[in-house]
Amino acid sequence: MDAKYKKLLWISIGLSLGIMLLVILFTFDEETVVALKNFDYRFLLIAFGLHLLAIVFWGLRIVVLCKSLGYRVPLRHSINMAAAGQLLAAITPSNIGGEPVRVHELYKAKVPLADATAVVLVERLLEAVLLVLGVIGGMTAFSLVYRNGEIPSGLITAAWIGTAFFVAILLVLVLIMRKPDTVKRWGGAILGFVGKKMKAERREKLQSDMEGGIDQFYGTFRHFAGKDGRIGLFLGLLLSLAFWTCEYSIASVIMMGLGYEPHILLSIIFQMIIAVILMIPLTPGSTGIAELCYAGFYSLILPTAIIGLFVVLLRAILYYSNLLIGFIATFIIVKREAKNETVVLGDEE
């Protein structure tokens, strides 16, 4: 890991630990000690198992989307690329760091760059569709139920800003997909700006390569409109739903381990709202912001003395385990690259 990412990693961890420490200091009392002593750690193992299962569903989604394009990407390779992306996502604003890792690993599995980029973008779009539909309904219900000051108005405002930000990104992506000529013009303008000192022949070749890549990229999206593509999209949507079901169940499992009602539906609404807030690129990995959001929202359904402990346990699964899993998966990739090994594809096994 280069110096830039090391710096982001330490900033991310520092913000997370600092905010969690403050939450614990403001909520800690004798009841916290009793809750910690009585905590059923089997639920923590279940929560971690759900998190691992979510990564498996993520890998399956990659396999299904690639297969719909005619590429046989091994499940093991797909799971590893999803896990490796978790490391960069944990230290980059809006969790966008994982996408380049997946594109790179798909390219290593002999998926053309344009198709690999399209698969990763479709992943995001499938999640965006689910999240936008869920969060608009959830935000509406949440704003109505808690409009009398039970929750700080700042959190509700931040959630609506996050929702608008996320919907805007989705609309921009949809418009981009409908206007390939516009994308070519933008790409040409950017290339002209950064390539002012290039030789004319070099710049023309890059322009040709860029336009060819864009054509292939849009050709891939048109393929998703075909029969095999539609089946892939449908299965991808189901796997996205399975992924988020696992992830959004973790908080309820931890609450059960602490001896409280899981509040499954309300907890899912909280997490969808938090997800759009974390889309606003404020801190590396949205750390600090995430801990404050979890503390603020879950204080509505948990005793104050439990909030700090709950946030620590939840972030141990959703953030710190991602760092560990991501390091292991990244090590596997680095080791493979160092040995100059190739990815064994499904039809080569």
Residue with more model confidence, 134 or 94: 134
Residue 228 confidence class, pLDDT cut points 50, 70, 90: low
In the Cβ-directed half-sphere of 75, how many Cα atoms lie within 13 Å? 6
pLDDT cut 70: percent of the chain above it: 77
341 backbone φψ class: left, alpha, beta (φ>0; ψ -120 to 50):
beta
Highest mean pLDDT among 85-89, 142-146, 279-283 belongs to: 85-89
What average pLDDT does this structure show over 117-130? 82
Nearest Cα neighbor of 54 from 241, 270, 232, 314 is 241
Highest mean pLDDT among 64-73, 132-141, 275-284 belongs to: 64-73
Given this model, what pLDDT does residue 111 score?
A: 87
Question: What's the 3-state SS for 4-24?
Answer: HHHHHHHHHHHHHHHHHHHHH
**In this predicted structure, which of 64-73, 91-100, 234-243, 305-314 has the lowest mean pLDDT?**
91-100
Given this model, what pLDDT does residue 57 score?
A: 96
What are the tens digits of pLDDT across the range 166-192? 677 667 766 666 676 777 777 777 767
What are the tens digits of pLDDT across the range 45-56? 999 999 999 999
Given this model, what pLDDT does residue 316 score?
A: 93
Nearest Cα neighbor of 306 from 19, 30, 41, 21 is 30
Given this model, what pLDDT does residue 284 score?
A: 77
Instruction: Say if residue 118 is exposed, middle or buried (CB neighbours under 10 Å; 0-12, 13-18, 19+).
Output: buried
Given this model, what pLDDT does residue 349 score?
A: 45
**Helix 264-277 and helix 153-178: axis angle, to 10°?**
70
94: pLDDT strictly greater than 50:
yes
Q: What is the spatial distance between Cα 55 and Cα 83, in angstroms, rounded to a whole number?
A: 7
148: pLDDT strictly greater than 80:
no
